[in-house]
Structure 1
Amino acid sequence: MSKELFDALNYLSKEKGIDKDLLMEALEAALISAYKKNFKSASNVRVALHEETGKMQVFSRKEIVDEVFDPQEEISIDQAKELDPAYDIGDVVEVEVTPRDFGRIAAQAAKQVVTQRVREAERSVIFSEYQEREDDIMNGIIQRVDPRFVYIDLGKVEAKLAESERMQTETYRVHDRIKVYVTKVESTNKGPQVYVSRTHPGLLKRLFETEVPEIYDGTVEIKSVAREAGDRSKISVFAADAEIDPVGSCVGQRGQRVQTVVDELRGEKIDIVEYSDDPVIYVSNALSPSKVTKVIVEEENKATTVIVPDNQLSLAIGKRGQNARLAAKLTGWKIDIKSESDAKALGIVSDEDLKMPEEKNDAQNLLFEDMDDLFN
């Protein structure tokens, strides 16, 4: 076996990032297979590879017996003692059986097996690389589109974007660049299969991590995301430091940060609200941009009844119930919205209750109004 083969293995190891020991094991397996096939050997064969000299040796492992019945598996005690007087019955001796022309035969037989092992190892490396990118966003280029999938080139693999994971407001054109959220990576016989999404809430979260340094470094935390892809989303954010405005950090100067995310999501409207451990405050914030008069909390059922001014009822509920639905998803609380007049008629609140001073964050209300102006 020439030294050039080992040089080739070293090149493959460096170029493809494949463990050299794995390649050597593949080569040994290929040579053993070639020897057995061409020389009808028994199964107890070992191959020794010497990288420094490029030399290859084949050894047959035989058990030392008093009387030989199978020459391929056994060797007599007399023959064994000729090799080493210390051998005894029951020991295993290795006898070199390297054929003269084995290098040529082995090279031909090993080529296919080594190529296959290299391909498998390469797939394994790629699988590990992309598996680490699960729940992350990646940039890709659309390669082709059919009724079931949009196929996206991510570099070393082609990802699948299923119809159910597409935004209805988007048009997917070949050669367009696109950001996708990696939902799952599977190992298959044909190599790694990557599945991606444009509708997953994680995409919105990762986009904000990219655009908002305070989220990336942990100063501001995204607590929850509720999304109806392509239409409207809500995210709740929190900052442990009272001097940091988490909502303002996400919006950015003149709304630049949130607008970048909106543009990436093709105009999807995004409400950013401040998280609170107090369900009264949290639910009130989540129903922005509507104003809330009162929130009645039922802890045991994790439910709330929200009272809003009569002229705010449709805004609080939203088109086809979207605002209320997203607020409930965001907070994890059931939300039943009533107008002030209906709440009084049902005896839920009194006139005296509605005269209570509102605890509102005027700055945040103005911010919501500014954000809404961005989208309209």
Structure 2
Amino acid sequence: MSANLMGSLAELASLKQLNKEQLAEIIKDGLYQAISKKLLLESELTIVADFDTNRVCARFNRIVVERDMSLGEISLEEAKDYDPDIELGDKIPVEMTISDFEPKVIRNARKAILERIKALEEDRIMFDYENQKNQIISGKVTKDDYNGYVVDISYADALLPKEEQIEDEFFKVGDIVKAYVVNIRKRKNDVIVILSRTRPEFVKRIFETEIPEINSGEIVVKKIVREPGMRTKVAVQSNDKSIDATAACLGEKGIRIESIRNELNGELVDIVLWDESPEQLIANAIGPDLVEKVYLAERGRFARIIVSETNKNLAIGKKGKNVKLAAKLTDYKLDIYTEEEFEEKISEERRITSHVSDLDGVTSKVAEVLKEHGYTSVQDIYEASIEELTNLEGLGKKTAAKIKESSRYF
């Protein structure tokens, strides 16, 4: 292998962040792989690679035979030129420079060396970016295809898949994009880093960057729920009573939260003050200024929230996103009511669970007639018309009117 070729490999290794010791071992392995195929097991091949002298050579034994058939053999006649006393089966030590080998051997050696350099580079990239997993990195968009955006992140390419992109967000080739490292995958010919801008963890890392009190641990992010491109709720709690967690996250005149929103393509970001009380946490998640009362179910994670008629749409949110995210954040099933709707709902549930016999005017005989026609609960009577009840055989108009009226005020 010529000094020029050694020099070019050294330059390549430097670009791939490999030192000379690593490259020397790679060259030895590559040459051994290519040359050993031409030799016998008894040849005892060794490779020398010296970057100080730019010298590479192969040392091995040639076995003395009657008629040589391979590189690892030498005919007795030729061997006598080296040593007149030599005999069949003896070994002659040989040293050959790489240029002494046939071109095919050199090509195979070069291929093996380049493949090994590439494999080591991929291992290094895997190691480097494994350390950056779950962190935010920046890179330049180099391509936009059906899979997503290809992003140059120095020593590797990264992919921001379509499913990991914020809705309606667009980047041009050359734009700098900031994203969360989800995974590192080794493909057939290279390493690919998978990015995301939709994960809640992406938002958390941005908060840690933009809000010093979170980075220092004075404020803790308890939970994040998100509808990428639409809305995010971040529950925070202060570990220092002197620090207002909500105010710190918003920043003076909202400058901190505005910076975060800009990074999220204008996405709405709600700061929710964490509370150990489920009722208070639910109110905070919906919007403390919107909620009048929270009722928790006796069993199960279910809550009913009372708001004014004016605030109902705000509490539900555009496309139901506010209440949906609040439910995810609190891990409660949430229903929004005005006071009037809530009272009607309670009355309806009472009617559903009450038997017709509980109504004024319903004797055991009337109850039997109603049961025969499928009317068993107070709600059944409430939903029926007087005409429908009057037409029941065995039930007069006066009785029908009385039990209907009774169901309305039950």
| Offset at residue 213 of structure 1 (A) | 0.9
2:112: which partner in 1? 113
Provide the rounded CA distance (Å) in 2 between the counterparts of 1:250 and 1:44. Answer: 73
Provide the rounded CA distance (Å) in 1 between the counterparts of 2:256 and 2:44. Answer: 66
| Offset at residue 113 of structure 1 (A) | 1.7
> Do the aligned partners of 2:32 and 2:46 also contact (CA within 8 Å) in 1?
yes
Provide the rounded CA distance (Å) in 1 between the counterparts of 2:183 and 2:249. Answer: 28
Provide the rounded CA distance (Å) in 1 between the counterparts of 2:42 and 2:305. Answer: 78
- Whether 2:94 is the aligned partner of 1:98: answer yes
What pairs with 1:289-368 in structure 2 (closer than 5 Å)?
Answer: 290-298=289-297, 300-347=299-346
| Offset at residue 286 of structure 1 (A) | 0.5
Q: Which runs of 5+ in 2 are unaligned?
A: 64-71, 73-90, 348-410
Provide the rounded CA distance (Å) in 2 between the counterparts of 1:40 and 1:320. Answer: 75
| Offset at residue 258 of structure 1 (A) | 0.5
| Offset at residue 270 of structure 1 (A) | 0.8
Provide the rounded CA distance (Å) in 1 between the counterparts of 2:24 and 2:49. Answer: 11
> Do the aligned partners of 2:302 and 2:333 also contact (CA within 8 Å) in 1?
yes
- Whether 2:244 is the aligned partner of 1:245: answer yes
What is the letter of the counterpart of residue 131 of structure 1? E
Other structure's SS at 2:174 match: coil
Q: Per chain length, whose mean CA-contact separation is higher, i.e. which structure has more relative contact order (CA < 8 Å, sep 6+)?
A: 1
Provide the rounded CA distance (Å) in 2 between the counterparts of 1:296 and 1:123. Answer: 57
- Whether 2:119 is the aligned partner of 1:123: answer no
Larger Rg: 2
Other structure's SS at 1:301 match: coil
What is the letter of the counterpart of residue 42 of structure 1? L
2:280: which partner in 1? 281
- Whether 2:54 is the aligned partner of 1:58: answer no
Provide the rounded CA distance (Å) in 2 between the counterparts of 1:199 and 1:217. Answer: 25
Provide the rounded CA distance (Å) in 2 between the counterparts of 1:241 and 1:164. Answer: 39
Please give the per-residue CA displacement for 1:197-226, whole angstroms capped at 9, x wherever unaligned: 222222211111111111112211111111
Over 3 Å counting, the alpha-carbon distance change for 1:144 and 1:56 in structure 2 is closer
Other structure's SS at 2:25 match: helix
Provide the rounded CA distance (Å) in 1 between the counterparts of 2:47 and 2:156. Answer: 37
Provide the rounded CA distance (Å) in 1 between the counterparts of 2:298 and 2:12. Answer: 63
What is the letter of the counterpart of residue 98 of structure 1? V
> Do the aligned partners of 1:290 and 1:315 also contact (CA within 8 Å) in 2?
no
Q: Which runs of 5+ in 1 are unaligned?
A: 63-71, 73-94, 349-376
Q: CA RMSD in A?
A: 3.2
1:27: which partner in 2? 27
1:361: which partner in 2? none
2:17: which partner in 1? 17
> Do the aligned partners of 1:166 and 1:199 also contact (CA within 8 Å) in 2?
yes
Provide the rounded CA distance (Å) in 1 between the counterparts of 2:3 and 2:338. Answer: 86
> Do the aligned partners of 2:27 and 2:49 also contact (CA within 8 Å) in 1?
no
Other structure's SS at 1:151 match: strand
Provide the rounded CA distance (Å) in 1 between the counterparts of 2:7 and 2:149. Answer: 41
> Do the aligned partners of 1:294 and 1:308 also contact (CA within 8 Å) in 2?
yes
Over 3 Å counting, the alpha-carbon distance change for 1:233 and 1:218 in structure 2 is same
Segment drifting more, 278-287 vs 291-300: 291-300
> Do the aligned partners of 1:237 and 1:273 also contact (CA within 8 Å) in 2?
yes
| Offset at residue 114 of structure 1 (A) | 1.5
Provide the rounded CA distance (Å) in 2 between the counterparts of 1:119 and 1:197. Answer: 27
What is the letter of the counterpart of residue 329 of structure 1? K
Q: What TM-score, normalized to structure 1?
A: 0.73
Segment drifting more, 2-11 vs 316-325: 2-11
